[in-house]
C-alpha cells in the first residue's frame, strides 16, 4: 500500500505542479519578497485555495467557461488543452497559487506572464444570436465571465466540501477581486450578491454547441492514469452536482442520482491523506511572512 500511495502522490504532485516533489522553483521563490502578499494566513483566499475543494472547483470552472461562445472560441482556437492538458492545468495552478500565497511583486509578475500569453489570443466567434463577432482574450466581457465563474466555482465547492471561510463568502469574493484586477478585470464583483448578479447577467450570451459538447467530453474523460480515473469520475460527478440546474442543462449534463456530494467528500479526504497536510506553497509563504515579521 505504501508503494501505491507514493506512486499516487508523485503523480498527483506532477499533475498539479509539474514536478513530482510538488515544489517547483516558482514555489521556492515564495520564500522571497518584502511583504506578506495580497492576502495572508487569516484570509479567506488562503482558506479557500488551500482546501481540497479546489480539485472539484477547477472542473466546475472549466465546465462553466465553455458556455460563453467567446471564451470557448479562445480555448478552441488557441489552447493546447488536448495536446498538453496537464501543462495547461499546471500553468493555471501556478497563477492561482502564486497570487494567493506569494508576495505582491511575484504575484504581479505571474499575472503579467498570463497577460502576455493572452495578448496574442484573438479571432471571431458566433454569438448566441448567431452574429459573427470579433474577440480578444483581453475583452472585458470575456475577462469578467472567466473571473466570475472561477470565483463562483471555488466559493461554491469550498462551501460544500471545506471548512468555514474566515469572514464568509462576501470576504472571499471581495479579496479575490484583487486577482481579477491583476489580469485586467475592470469591475470584479466584491460580494456574493454582486457575483450572482454578474453571472445571471450573462444568461443571454450563453449557448451550447458542438464545441461545448466536445470540451465537456474531454473534461469528463481526460488522459489521466487509469488507476486515477475512478476517483476523477467521482470528482467530475461532484462538480456537475454542484452546478445550478440551468447550467447543467446547457452543458447537456445530468446530476447523478447517487450520493455524489458525499462520495466526493470521501475522495477529497482520501486525496488529502495521500498528499499530506503540508502545503509546500503555504509553507514557503509562512517562512516569508515569519522572516518579515521578525525583521
Q: What is the pLDDT of residues 227-267, one digit of tens each?
A: 788 989 999 999 999 999 999 999 999 999 999 999 999 99
9 touches 265 (CB < 8 A):
no
For residue 120, the enclosing domain spans 2-290
Coil, strand or helix at 31: helix
d(CA 255, CA 272): 25
Give the pLDDT score at 23: 60
Number of helical H runs and strand E runs in the chain: 15, 2
What is the domain count for the chain? 1
283 touches 277 (CB < 8 A):
no
Q: What is the pLDDT of residues 187-204, one digit of tens each?
A: 999 999 999 999 999 999
Residue 199 maps to a domain: yes
Residue the block writes with cell 458556455? 67
Residue 178 maps to a domain: yes
**Other beta carbons within 10 Å of 285:** 27
Residue 295 maps to a domain: no
Q: What is the pLDDT of residues 89-147, one digit of tens each?
A: 667 888 999 999 999 999 999 999 887 777 778 899 999 999 999 998 889 999 999 99
The answer, as to whether pTM is greater than 0.85, is yes
Residue 248 maps to a domain: yes
Amino acid at each position: 500500500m505504501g508503494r501505491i500511495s507514493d506512486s499516487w502522490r508523485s503523480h498527483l504532485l506532477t499533475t498539479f505542479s509539474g514536478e513530482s516533489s510538488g515544489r517547483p522553483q516558482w514555489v521556492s521563490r515564495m520564500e522571497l519578497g518584502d511583504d506578506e502578499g495580497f492576502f495572508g494566513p487569516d484570509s479567506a483566499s488562503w482558506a479557500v485555495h488551500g482546501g481540497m475543494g479546489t480539485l472539484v472547483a477547477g472542473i466546475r470552472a472549466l465546465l462553466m467557461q465553455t458556455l460563453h461562445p467567446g471564451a470557448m472560441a479562445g480555448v478552441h482556437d488557441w489552447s493546447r488543452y488536448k495536446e498538453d492538458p496537464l501543462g495547461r492545468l499546471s500553468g493555471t495552478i501556478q497563477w492561482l497559487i502564486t497570487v494567493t500565497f506569494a508576495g505582491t511583486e511575484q504575484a504581479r509578475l505571474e499575472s503579467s506572464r498570463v497577460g502576455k500569453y493572452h495578448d496574442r489570443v484573438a479571432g471571431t466567434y458566433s454569438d448566441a444570436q448567431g452574429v459573427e463577432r470579433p474577440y480578444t482574450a483581453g475583452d472585458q466581457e470575456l475577462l469578467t465571465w472567466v473571473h466570475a465563474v472561477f470565483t463562483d466555482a471555488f466559493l461554491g465547492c469550498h462551501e460544500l466540501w471545506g471548512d468555514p471561510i474566515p469572514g464568509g463568502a462576501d470576504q472571499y469574493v471581495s479579496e479575490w477581486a484583487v486577482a481579477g484586477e491583476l489580469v485586467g478585470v475592470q469591475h470584479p464583483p466584491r460580494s456574493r450578491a454582486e457575483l450572482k448578479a454578474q453571472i445571471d447577467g450573462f444568461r443571454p450570451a450563453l449557448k451550447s454547441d458542438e464545441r461545448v459538447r466536445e470540451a465537456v467530453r474531454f473534461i469528463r474523460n481526460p488522459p489521466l492514469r487509469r488507476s486515477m480515473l475512478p476517483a476523477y469520475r467521482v470528482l467530475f460527478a461532484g462538480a456537475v452536482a454542484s452546478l445550478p440546474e440551468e447550467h447543467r442543462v446547457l452543458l447537456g449534463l445530468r446530476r447523478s442520482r447517487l450520493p455524489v456530494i458525499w462520495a466526493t467528500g470521501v475522495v477529497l479526504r482520501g486525496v488529502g491523506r495521500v498528499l499530506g497536510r503540508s502545503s509546500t506553497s503555504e509553507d514557503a509563504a509562512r517562512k516569508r511572512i515569519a522572516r518579515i515579521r521578525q525583521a
